[in-house]
């Protein structure tokens, strides 16, 4: 979950993102157009048992196409959730984090209706790492509970093999939850900067938001799949469909998910 990303997103919608993904076939790690056998996601076992539905994370830097890719998976019938949207509900009026956010950051980031001005909040936390850490410490626990509940609610439906949750700061924040696969969205650095600036931010503000997250190169190296969003929507849809089919096969195999 990424509060800073949400603050950035609150300005204006980013340009549509599209692109290609690493193939779901076997092979060795290579360049953007290469393919490899997906690795097990590097996660730490959670104490509570994981339910039947397999857990997949979609992550990636700001303005790299997460929303578009998540929409494509949803169009294929995959249950999807967005940690940023869940975060927004935690600090909405009467939300579990609203009071703590107000006490920590003051009334200046709230409007007359008691709603958080995410643009103002984003400007504040991106300029101050201590403030950003404080905000994440307030909100993240509530979002994790919401995500766990969301996956648990999918379990009773035998037609659902896996769900996908978008967590922008998946690699930047410590966690103990089990996730069976990780997909990362990525694009060229210059494209990412242009997309963030298209949301109404200055080059300095855009650079701050990008620098606050792990680099694209590092995320691609850690993930099981990478979807590069520099090409056409049709190419994105094709790659998402390819990964969708592969996930359906792999996550049905207990040996692939470590449940055997």
* Full-model pTM: 0.81
User: At how many degrees (to 10) do helices 233-250 and 66-75 cross?
Assistant: 60
- Which of helix, strand or coil describes residue 220? helix
Q: Where are the domains of the chain?
A: 3-257
On the question of pLDDT at 64 being above 80, the answer is yes
Question: Tell me: the pLDDT tens digits for 102-143?
Answer: 999 999 999 999 999 999 999 999 899 999 999 999 999 999
Q: Within 13 A of 61's CA, how many CA atoms are on the CB side?
A: 28
CB 135, CB 3: distance < 8 Å: yes
Q: What is the CATH number of domain 3-257?
A: 3.40.50.300
Of the pLDDT bands very low, low, confident and very high (cuts 50, 70, 90), residue 258 is: low
């Amino acid at each position: 979950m990424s509060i800073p990303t949400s603050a950035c997103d609150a300005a204006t919608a980013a340009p549509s993102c599209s692109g290609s993904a690493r193939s779901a076939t076997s092979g060795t790690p290579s360049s953007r157009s290469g393919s490899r056998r997906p690795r097990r996601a590097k996660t730490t076992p959670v104490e509570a048992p994981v339910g039947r539905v397999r857990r997949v994370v979609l992550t990636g830097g700001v303005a790299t196409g997460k929303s578009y890719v998540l929409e494509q998976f949803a169009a294929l019938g995959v249950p999807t959730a967005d940690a940023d949207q869940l975060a927004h509900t935690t600090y909405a009026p009467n939300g579990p984090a609203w009071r703590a956010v107000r006490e920590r950051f003051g009334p200046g980031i709230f409007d007359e209706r008691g709603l958080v001005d995410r643009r103002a909040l984003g400007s504040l936390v991106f300029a101050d790492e201590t403030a950003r850490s404080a905000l994440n410490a307030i909100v993240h626990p509530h979002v994790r509970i919401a995500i766990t509940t969301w996956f648990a609610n999918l379990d009773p439906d035998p037609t659902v093999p896996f769900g996908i949750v978008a967590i922008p700061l998946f690699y930047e924040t410590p966690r103990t939850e089990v996730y069976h696969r990780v997909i990362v969205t990525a694009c060229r650095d210059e494209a990412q900067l242009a997309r963030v600036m298209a949301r109404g931010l200055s080059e300095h503000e855009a650079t701050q938001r990008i620098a606050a997250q792990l680099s694209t190169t590092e995320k691609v190296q850690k993930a099981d799949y990478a979807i590069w969003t520099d090409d056409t929507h049709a190419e994105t849809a094709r790659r998402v469909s390819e990964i969708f089919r592969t996930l359906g096969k792999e996550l049905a195999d207990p040996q692939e998910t470590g449940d055997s």
